[in-house]
Amino acid sequence: MTAAIMCGGKGSRMRGFGNIEKPLLKLNGKTMVELVIDSLLQSKNFTKIVAATSSNGPNTKSYLLSNLSDKVDIIQTEGLGYSNDISIVLNTLRPATAFVVTADLPLLTLKDVNRIVLNSKREHPCTCVVSEKRYVTDIGINPSIMLSIGSRQYCYSGISIIDSSKACSGAKIDEHYLIMNQKGVAVNVNTRSDFEIAEMLMSSSV
């Protein structure tokens, strides 16, 4: 299995951090992208880790090449949106199964990663990790992408396990859902408020 970290977005909802690209924001002295990489490496589930960058984040690409090139390979995407970027990543990695994670999940833990891998089913071409909306909002995070399962609302975490051999460009594949109410998958940093919550939660757990 290959892990793919998506870090080519524009981060347009982040304000007040000057020109610092979102994956490079630091918590406890480490960038968010490095925190995600650390959890993936510790799990020992992956034969390779790649980072998907784009022209939206030139400093992120430079940081990864200068500091983490021994841990991750770079895939350059077009930066035209998440769907387009992930299509490029999956086509590049084909036919590997890809553990796709966004770079803005700084609280992701080794335990979270192992649980996701353990509970994914080989027969499912796409497993998406979701959290209950109430759990996410109770933490203080304002979710952006939601779905309904039965009568309940859930939030996408930004983590999926995808069989790239079955994910054809432009074709929709069936999603199966793994529900996890854990801070590591629920605290997706998209705004300054989200970052401050992540910072507080990380400090309280140290």
Is the previous residue joined to 143 through a cis bond, with omega within 30 degrees of 0? no
pLDDT of amino acid 170: 54
In order of their start, the domains of the chain are: 2-205 (3.90.550.10)
What token pair was written down for 123? 């027969």
Each residue of 58-104: pLDDT tens digit? 999 999 999 999 999 999 998 888 888 988 999 999 888 999 999 99
Average of per-residue pLDDT across 161-187: 85
Each residue of 15-72: pLDDT tens digit? 556 678 999 999 989 999 999 999 999 998 999 999 999 998 899 999 999 999 999 9
Confidence bin at 13 (pLDDT 50/70/90): low
Average of per-residue pLDDT across 107-124: 92
pLDDT of amino acid 120: 87
Within 8 A by CB and 6+ apart from 105, the residues are: 32, 36, 157, 158, 159, 184, 185, 187, 188, 189
Average of per-residue pLDDT across 186-201: 93
Give dist(CA 12, CA 20) in Å, integer.
12
Q: What is the pTM of this model?
A: 0.91
Each residue of 122-170: pLDDT tens digit? 888 999 999 999 999 999 998 878 888 888 999 999 999 999 887 755 5
C-alpha torsion sign, points 195, 196, 197, 200: positive
